[in-house]
Copies of this chain bind each other. A is one copy, B any other.
Amino acid sequence: MGIGNALVDVLSHESDDFVEEHGLARGAMMLIDAERAEKLYAAMGPGTEISGGSAANSMVGIASFGGTAGFIGRVSDDQLGGVFGHDIRAAGVEFTSTAAATVAEGGAPTGRCLIIVTPDAQRTLNTFLGASAQLGPDDLDHDLVARAQVLFLEGYLWDEADAKEAFRRAARGAHDAGNRVAFTLSDGFCVERHRDEFLDLIEHDVDILFANEVEITSLYQVDDFEAALQNVQHHCEIAALTRSEKGAVILGRDEVHVIDAHPVARIVDTTGAGDLFAAGFLYGFTHGYDLGIAGRLGTMAAAEVISHLGARPETSLRELARPLLDD
């Protein structure tokens, strides 16, 4: 069960100069307001629209493995909201959106993420949250949360007060029902904005932590990955840490798994790599596989998603993963 920002991605290929010229945060995520979104979109080349949103992508990945997944997030009653809802349901994820105020009634339109893909396949995210920023405790389907083995929350939620409250209540609900809470740090800047609260969250509310190398070193304000590993292993039960082409490291209570990156013929667009790693790992974890296999399912799913444009799988992850699965 994922909770996160419900966004439609608008992807365009641009030069490195474009990123510099527009003052974008290369490789990271920046929040932008409606006006800035309009200006940036006007400057971008022709786009491709594909549903996105970090935790939403992870849930779609789990469904592609054959797992059962649900998603809570806010869209508006507009065309992009229709696209988001269609795509996530068509991927087999349970999704019910609370009726939001329409744009005509003064509400915000469905959120979107303007994604600049540079020639090195790196992506730079510029998010106009729109309706997704209105996510609050009332959007929680407590029954859905209680039914889920794992509640998966994205760090991006921490930028809005109501979403934070929804996050906290959902985590409490999950633990009360005896379930696990997983959390992704989402982005380096996101960690910088909320470091102290994230450290506190991980200490008290998080069972499974996802982070990449930049995020985990930023969290503990250390210079290298080894130092971050030492910090995190005393901090939460399971940490699944990704390192791009260096693969991943999974830390359990008394175990460490070093996972190689899965081979990719050609990296086209790295959007969604972390989201799909989480999908593979969580599918493995919730289906009785050990942490090492779960990590390999993660790197495999990440490899699929970076081989094409967009942050959701284009091929059945279940088929791809068949050699690793029992059934």
Contacts and interface: CB of A to CB of B under 8 A. Distances in A.
Interface of A: 12-13, 41-42, 44-51, 60, 78-80, 83, 86-88, 90-91, 104, 109, 309-310, 312, 314
Contacts of A48: 48-50, 310
A86 B310 CA distance: 19
A109 B49 CA distance: 18
Contact of A80 (B79, B309, B312): B79
A50 B51 contact: no
Given A41-B86, A86-B41, A104-B104, A46 B80 contact: no
Contacts of A60: 46
Given A78-B79, A79-B79, A104-B104, A45 B13 contact: no
Instruction: Give the one of A12, A79, A310 with max B CB within 10 A.
Output: A79
A88 B109 CA distance: 23
Given A46-B87, A309-B309, 6 more contacts: A42-B86, A46-B51, A47-B87, A48-B49, A48-B50, A49-B49
A47 B83 contact: yes
A45 B91 contact: yes
Contacts of A312: 46
Nearest to A11: B48
Identical copies of this chain, number: 2
A63 B309 CA distance: 23
Nearest to A86: B41
13 contacts: A12-B90, A13-B314, A44-B86, A45-B91, A46-B88, A46-B90, A46-B91, A47-B83, A47-B90, A49-B49, A78-B79, A79-B79, A309-B309
A45 B79 contact: no
A50 B50 CA distance: 9
Nearest to A79: B79
A132 to B, nearest CB: 15
A114 to B, nearest CB: 11
A48 B83 CA distance: 9
Contacts of A12: 90
Nearest to A8: B49
A87 B104 CA distance: 25
A141 B13 CA distance: 32
A77 to B, nearest CB: 12
